[in-house]
Amino acid sequence: MSRPELQAPPEIYYGDAEAKKYTTNTRNQWIQADMTYRALELLNLPPDQPGFLLDIGCGSGLSGEILDEEGYMWTGVDIAPSMLEVALERQVEGDLFLQDIGQGLGFRPGSFDGAISISVLQWLLNAETSHPTSSPPHRLNRFFTTLYAALRNPSRAVFQFYPSSDDQIQLITSIAQKAGFGGGIVVDYPNSKKAKKVFLCLFVGSGGGGQQLQLPKGLEAEDEQVPFERRREKERKRDRSGRRKTLKDKDWILKKKEASFRSSPLPQAELYRQRGKEDVPRDSKYTGRKRKPVF
């Protein structure tokens, strides 16, 4: 399947139907929450200060709900009107702004204690027109320059995004550094195809005392299944009563047979016979019982 950012601009791709579908999808909710918690961990704000955060690409407010739970005040910006409408319907706590971050942010200097962004930066890497102001470098430069001004000194900004190549990572980090940021890339679970996550951690100023801030280390796992994926795998193997599912066991087969019989007054094979079809196979008596080994 083609990546969303290659199909259409975000304000078009996330129309009314897609915005509601994305928001109500349970997997999207879990992934968004998981990455927001990780972004806050990398942001590393003092625990005794509530903090005022900027949620860049806030969408329908899934990440904003996590910020509320963690005690932060926040403001969100997004380019998709339909996403913001869903956020309003869900009555999220943050202030919402309709804004194209590629044209720059319009906040006063030093407004925020930090910023997070989940799955947004890759949308700035596609030019919609041939005009110079639509080029990815120009839009990234406008975004990072105005973001740097909107953040207090010292502070941090953490971006989770999906780069398609190392060249994209190099482009983003180089433009962010030209705008005044320090920092770099943090990769969680680099050896896992499913769980690998890329974070851009940016610093404004220093940690105090002239000491240079150090990049946090990415998470690692011995196997490719991190806790989130293992939890999903376990839930897929359990039914609503909490019992483990056995794929195509006897109960499952009998239930499917009964369902097919209830849908019509006669079994399917008998219907075929009444319609005059020839060579109709006999009704199956298979129930999934274990067979004796054949030697």
ω before 154 within 30° of 0 (cis)? yes
pLDDT at 178: 97
Per-residue pLDDT at 79:
96
Reported as a single tens digit per residue, the pLDDT across 17-38 is 999 999 999 999 999 999 999 9
pLDDT tens digit string along 250-276?
665 665 555 444 444 445 566 566 666
Q: Which CATH code for domain 4-236?
A: 3.40.50.150
Alpha-carbon radius of gyration of the chain: 26
pLDDT of residue 261: 44
Q: What is the pLDDT of residue 13?
A: 94
* Domain coordinates in residue numbering, the chain: 4-236, 246-289
DSSP string of 212-253?
PPPPPPPP--SSS--HHHHHHHHHHTB-TTSPBP-TT-HHHH
Over residues 46-88, the pLDDT tens digits come to 887 779 999 999 999 999 999 999 999 999 999 999 999 999 9
- What pLDDT is stored for residue 194 in this prediction? 86
> pLDDT averaged over the chain?
83
pLDDT for position 264: 43
Residues of the chain with pLDDT > 90, as a percent, come to 62
Q: Give me the torsion for CA of 285, 286, 290, 295, rounded to 10°.
A: 90
Q: pTM of the prediction?
A: 0.74
Per-residue pLDDT, 220: 85
Q: Which two tokens stand for residue 170?
A: 């190099």
pLDDT score, position 139: 96
Which two structure tokens, joined as six digits, stand for 125?
A: 């890497």
Q: Give 168-190 pLDDT, tens digit per residue.
A: 999 999 999 999 999 999 999 99
Question: 210 pLDDT exceeds 50?
Answer: no
